Every structure is written in C-alpha cells, then in structure tokens.
Chains A and B, each alone.
Chain A
Amino acid sequence: MDDVANKIVSILKKNMKEPPETIALDTKLSDLEIESLDLAVIVFDIEDTFGIQIPYNANEEMQDFATVGSVVERVKSLIGDKGAAGAAA
C-alpha cells in the first residue's frame, strides 16, 4: 500500500470501535461495519487530511465507497484534479 492508502486505512481504523488487524485494498466497507454516519465522519477526515472535497450523499449508493481500494482511487483522482487545477491557475 502506498502513502495515500496507508493514510486512508489509518483514518478508517481511527473511526472504528474495534478495527481489525489488517485492512486490505479489497476489503469491503460493509464488512467493516461502517454505517452512513461513520462514513460521513470518515469522509470528513479524508477531506481534511488531503485538502479535497468528496461528493458523497448518504442517500445514494456510491460505487466509490464499495471497497477500501475504490476510496483510495477516488481520493487519488481528486488529489490529481486539485494538482491539475493548481497548475492551471
């Protein structure tokens, strides 16, 4: 796992009552018993850590939040967008 993934895993663990020893990229968030309010807190933490904004609505099924890996990919793409926007400005 790279730096982004490690940071996201540590955010997940921080917000779980009993985090498992290992969280892999293919671990499903539903298997971690993360519910909608937990996810709102986790998304907030991720936004704060990486300085990005993640469009997330608890009322909608979001593929980006299916697995740890999909969250990592989404965050990387948002970091990339931010970098590109910064370069253009």
Chain B
Amino acid sequence: MAGPNGARRVVITGQGVVSAIGIGVDTFWANMRRGVCGIGPITNIPLQDLYITIAGEVKDFDPRERCPSKPFMLADRYSQFAGSAAIEAMKQAGYDGPVSDGHRAASIIGSGIGGLGTIENGYVDLFIHKKKATHPLTLLRSIGSSAAAHVSIEYGMKGPCFGTVSACSTAAHAIGLTFQMIRAGMVDIGIAGASEACVTFGSMRSWQAMRVLSPEGCWPFSKHRNGTVLAEGAGILVLEELEHALARGATPLAELVGFGMTSDAADMVNPSIEGPSVAMQIALDDARLAPGDIDYINAHGTATTVNDINETRAIRRVFGKDADKVSVSSTKSMHGHCLGAGGGVEAVACIKAISENFVPATIGFDEPGEECDLDYTPNEGRSREITYAMSNSFAFGGLNAALVFGPPPA
C-alpha cells in the first residue's frame, strides 16, 4: 500500500524505553504526563573532582530481569538498556523470538559513544592497577555496534545491522535510515533507535570541561536555564511496512511519515539556523504536510543558551505564522539529555502524545528566556488533539534530523 508520495508506508508496531523517569513505556509515559523530574544527585559513580553532580540516572535497572539472555548479561550497560527497550518493543509488536524472514529485517541501533563504562574500567585496570590484561570482553562490550548486534542475534534479524553515530542525533538517524530502508523495499521490518550509558566518571569530567552542563537542573527555553543535564537511557521503535504489519495481525501505533536530515557544515558547537530549518522543512515535504498540520513539536530543547534560541528561530523560520499555534515542549526537562538516545526516547514521547492527544510539559519553567517566544507548554502538560508530531534532534558538529509521526492508518 503506497503513501501519498508513492512510497511504501511505514508504521510503528512496538516501542520500548529506558529512562530516568521510568523503565518501560507505561511508567515513562505516566510519569511524563504527571511532569515528574528524573534528574537528581548522581549515585552510581564517585564524585571526586566533579562540580557537576546531577544527572538523569536510570535507577533500579536489573539486567537479569529486563534482558535475561546470556549475551545481554555479559554486555555493557548501554547494550543492556538497548536490550531492555528492544525486548519491550518487540513484545508489543508481537515477537517473542526470531522474526520469520530474517533477511528482510534490520537492526539499526546506535549510540553516541557506545560502551564507555567498559572502556573506562579497562583503562583503570591497565593504567592504574597495571593489570596484565583487560577483561576479555572489553572490546565486544565497548564497540558502538554491539547493541545492534545483540538485538539482531536475539531476534534473528539477518539483514542490515549496524549502529549509527551522530552524537545527539544518533537515534533519529537510526530511525530515519530504517524508515528509508523499509520504504525502498530493502527490508520489511526494522528495529531502530539508540542507547546511551553516559553517566560515567570520564564522561562527566569531559562534559564538565566543556562548561555546558547545569549544576542545578534542565530548564529548556526558560529564563533561569543555565545548561543541560546528562542522562542515561534508550529509546527503540519497531518500524514495519504497513501491509507486513497488517498481515501479521500487528496493531500499528502510529505512522512515520517524514524524515529530514542536514548538516550545518559550519561549526562544531554553534548551530546555524539554516541547518535545523532545512531538516524540518525536508521532513515536512517528505510527509507531504504543511507546517500548520503539525500540532506538537518535541523540541531538541537542551537548555543551553545557544540551542534554545537557535531552535526557536529555526521553528519560526519554518512554521511562519503557524509557529504561534503549534505546541512545543522539551521533555529533556524531565528525563534529561540522553545524548544519542534522545531522539529515540523523544520519538516514544511523540507517539504517546499522538495516541493520547496529550502534550507533555516543559517542566522547571519560570518565565520565557530571552528570544524564547513559542508556546513551550510550561510546567503542566495539556490535552490537545494531536494528529501529527515532529521530533527534532540536533547534534554537536551541526548534525540535524527531524522525524514526523502521524496517526496509525485508519
């Protein structure tokens, strides 16, 4: 069944999430609706020499319970998050085991940085403890394609399998590429998203040195915002060609209708307005939608001074007069900045927003920041008819991706 642009239609039949506001979509969404903040004092790592001591940690994550197969048990925390989210998503899509035609299935699960905790522990063993060897699984745990590989093994997905790497746009790129593969007829089903276990000592020190983290909280678009807050998590979708899903008796949760990606090709940290604007416009054009058709934008909204003004300007450039009608929010205010996994976690938020016609809030909002003049859904989520939702992801290096989700085909 072809869509309005003649391409095969792609629906979401499963979704899974691991985050600071809940493991599993039900808990995550219930907390998101209530405006729960998952950011708090760091508990999992030593804090010496850290003056940034808050993050969005995933609490009470038990891999034995969430992803019980032996390969996952031995994997890095980042792969275990991916495993947990993938198993949840596949279960919802109706899979308890291998897919029927493995060569028509893709596993595209990225990470901004992969198994960083494993790398750090290996270096401590080598350089501090002067051990003669690292743990034998150091390499397999740390490579940024291990989550994708683990999931492909779990479900017998024998088609395209790799991880995307594009910092904070990683998950959106993974989802967008899988979308294109299904549209192009390369595969019929794909599991896509990203995972990040970035609250490690070395990572916190590196981010601290960039001077972009807030010591207090993540308050996007808000006057008192003073930086972003790192967070762990994973967000994973099962994407499927519509006919394939219906033939299996699966229930489409939403349709992925548009994808746009651009690169600023300008600066590693200072974003352009053009790059994000054109990514959003390409996604709208791809979806055959006008800006006025979008009801909700899950913004990249990192709570840095620069991003929030730039994203606001970019939305205004693309949406024109409709910018004052669209509901915008940054759910990073609740789950923190999950880096590579952000676009996956936020895609889940968009799909739930469409399903329940509810715009999640931007919490911690005091008053609008300078030049932040959109409706950011401050502090309390609200009911609103949502037909189409856009998810923005913008990354260091100027790597931009926008996804547009719509309702499940009638």
Interface residues in chain A, defined as those with a beta carbon under 8 Å from any beta carbon in chain B: 35-37, 39-40, 43-44, 53, 55-60
Contacts and interface: CB of A to CB of B under 8 A. Distances in A.
Contacts of B305: 58-60
Contacts, number: 39
Contacts of A36: 211, 269-270, 306
A60 B210 contact: no
Contacts of B212: 57-59
B183 to A, nearest CB: 38
Given A35-B270, A40-B209, A59 B51 contact: no
B327 interface: no
B270 A57 contact: no
9 contacts: A35-B270, A36-B270, A37-B210, A57-B212, A57-B215, A58-B211, A58-B212, A59-B212, A60-B226
Interface in B200-239: 209-212, 214-215, 225-227
A40 B210 contact: yes
Contacts of A39: 211
Contacts of B51: 53, 55
B210 A59 contact: no
B211 A40 contact: yes
Contacts of A57: 211-212, 214-215, 226-227
Interface of B: 51, 209-212, 214-215, 225-227, 268-270, 304-306
Given A36-B269, A37-B268, A59 B227 contact: yes
Given A36-B306, A40-B209, A58-B305, 20 more contacts: A36-B270, A37-B210, A37-B268, A37-B269, A37-B270, A39-B211, A40-B210, A55-B51, A56-B211, A57-B212, A57-B215, A57-B227, A58-B210, A58-B211, A58-B227, A58-B304, A59-B214, A59-B225, A59-B226, A59-B227
Nearest to B225: A59
A54 B268 CA distance: 24
Chain B interface, DSSP helix/strand/loop, else mixed:
loop
Nearest to A60: B226
Contacts of B215: 57
Contacts of A37: 210, 268-270
Contacts of B210: 37, 40, 58
A40 B304 CA distance: 15
Among A36, A44, A55, the one with the most B-chain Cβ atoms within 10 Å of its Cβ is: A36
Contacts of B304: 58-59
Contacts of B268: 37
A56 B215 CA distance: 11
A59 B210 CA distance: 11
A57 B209 CA distance: 10
B397 to A, nearest CB: 12
Nearest to B209: A44
Nearest to B302: A59
B53 to A, nearest CB: 14
Contacts of A55: 51
B207 to A, nearest CB: 11
B395 to A, nearest CB: 15
B211 A43 contact: yes
Contacts of B225: 59
Contacts of A58: 210-212, 227, 304-305
B54 to A, nearest CB: 14
A44 B227 CA distance: 18
Among B209, B211, B306, the one with the most A-chain Cβ atoms within 10 Å of its Cβ is: B211
Contacts of B269: 36-37
Nearest to B49: A53
Nearest to A55: B51
A75 to B, nearest CB: 16
B106 to A, nearest CB: 36
Nearest to B215: A57
B93 to A, nearest CB: 41
Nearest to A40: B211
B167 to A, nearest CB: 14
A59 B218 CA distance: 12
Among A40, A43, A59, the one with the most B-chain Cβ atoms within 10 Å of its Cβ is: A59
Nearest to A61: B305
